[in-house]
Amino acid sequence: MGLTSNKVLALAVLAAVALFAATIWLWPRLSRRGWRAVLGRVGLLLATQLALFAAVGLAANNSFLFYGSWADLFGRQQEMGEVVDHSASSRTVKVVGKQKPDVPGSARPETGGQIQKVVIVGEKSGIDSPAYVYLPPEYFQPAHASKRFPVTVVLTGYPGTAENLIKGLKYPRTAFMQAREGRMQPMILVMLRPTVAPPRDTECVDIPDGPQTETFFAKDLPAAVSATYRVGDAPRNWGIMGNSTGGYCALKIALHHPERFSAGAGLSAYYKAAEDPTTGDLFHGNQAERKRANLLWTLDHRPQGASSFLVTTSEEGEGNLKGTREFIKKVKAPARVSSITLDSGGHNFNTWRREIPPALVWMSGRLGAA
């Protein structure tokens, strides 16, 4: 059983409960004097605390995916990364692996879809980034062989990993279930980190003499995916969404590039670029670019395209409530804005899991197949 298996977590919880009960039951017998009774008390307390620590640690790891396997946890993951040579090929997406989604019927792509691990080569930005591409079952079915599918780019927060979108936030499984139940159309998901120049948090900015992150997301990624998969290439075929830093990036890219993306969704997003030790100097003194990276300023001072936006917050637990309300007020026609406001919910995976299903349905309603 793997480190992230629900069975392992259940066994750890059962062990903690059993040891707690045993401690309560046996404590009167171990209350006597003598080294054996003392050792018994120490042993029971230590075992109970270790079991409780293991259960809490496994639950936290399952939620945030700090470690993906036992080998990863104990530092035995020694497999080297694979160097992908793109010089001999004009393809801008290189498939380096395939895996089955966590959905019913996943044994066959035409019934469960497929997740492809890829490297996206940015020809204009010079950035190469790993990503995961979820292809729905319909992509492999003969009845849809000539169909070009809508695409949603999905971004994690900083410093999250793309695997979190699959295992922790369960985007492929959610998209599969929502499509199977008729709530949304089948969509291709391109899942990756906004941190395409790690470890630096570039805030999806084209940094002077630095990583051209906005160019990568707004131009390179759509061009690469369009050249590799059966997708539409009009703005109405493309959406972008994410959480936290990824949510800021999604709103920013959709706002600045309506010629490429017709919809952007920010889950727990903030509305201006962070500037701290993780970002470094993003603007090199260029105040015009600093203002442009402030979405509220852009809504006030730049023409708004015909894009749709979704923003999420909560009345209690999120720090972006005020900014979200300001964003909603500033969106003007031809742009449109929708929102999700929870009664309570913090800046965490549990909150985003409550928002992702309706957000995907919203996104599906804003996009069209070619």
Q: 3-class SS at 265?
A: strand
Tell me which CATH code domain 93-366 carries.
3.40.50.1820
Q: How confident is the model at residue 245 (pLDDT cuts 50, 70, 90)?
A: very high
Domain boundaries, given as residue ranges, for the chain: 6-73, 93-366
Residue 325, burial from CB neighbour count under 10 angstroms (0-12, 13-18, 19+): middle
| Residue with the larger pLDDT of the pair 9 and 256 | 256
- Cα R_g (the chain), whole angstroms: 24
Q: What is the pLDDT of residues 78-132, one digit of tens each?
A: 554 555 454 444 458 899 999 999 999 989 999 999 999 999 999 999 999 999 9
Q: How confident is the model at residue 25 (pLDDT cuts 50, 70, 90)?
A: confident
Residue 276, burial from CB neighbour count under 10 angstroms (0-12, 13-18, 19+): exposed
Q: List 291's β-bridge partners, or say none.
A: none
Q: Is the pLDDT of residue 60 over 50?
A: yes
CB neighbourhood size of 332 (10 A): 12
Q: 3-class SS at 223?
A: helix
State the pLDDT at residue 43. Answer: 81
State the pLDDT at residue 90. Answer: 47
The percent of residues above 90 in pLDDT, for the chain, comes to 67
Tell if the pTM clears 0.75, that is, is over it.
Answer: yes
CB neighbourhood size of 261 (10 A): 29
- Look at residues 214, 176, 196, 366 and name the one whose alpha carbon lies nearest to residue 298: 214
Q: What is the pLDDT of residues 152-183, one digit of tens each?
A: 999 999 888 899 999 999 999 999 999 999 99
Mind giving me the DSSP string for 267-299? ET--SB---STTT--SSTT-HHHHHHTBHHHHH
Q: What is the pLDDT of residues 189-222, one digit of tens each?
A: 999 999 888 889 999 999 999 999 999 999 999 9
Distance between CA 256 and CA 335 in Å, rounded?
12
State the pLDDT at residue 80. Answer: 45
Q: 3-class SS at 26?
A: helix
Distance between CA 93 and CA 233 in Å, rounded?
16
The percent of residues above 70 in pLDDT, for the chain, comes to 91
Q: How confident is the model at residue 52 (pLDDT cuts 50, 70, 90)?
A: confident
State the pLDDT at residue 255. Answer: 97
Q: What angle do CA 58, 64, 67 make, to 5 degrees?
A: 65
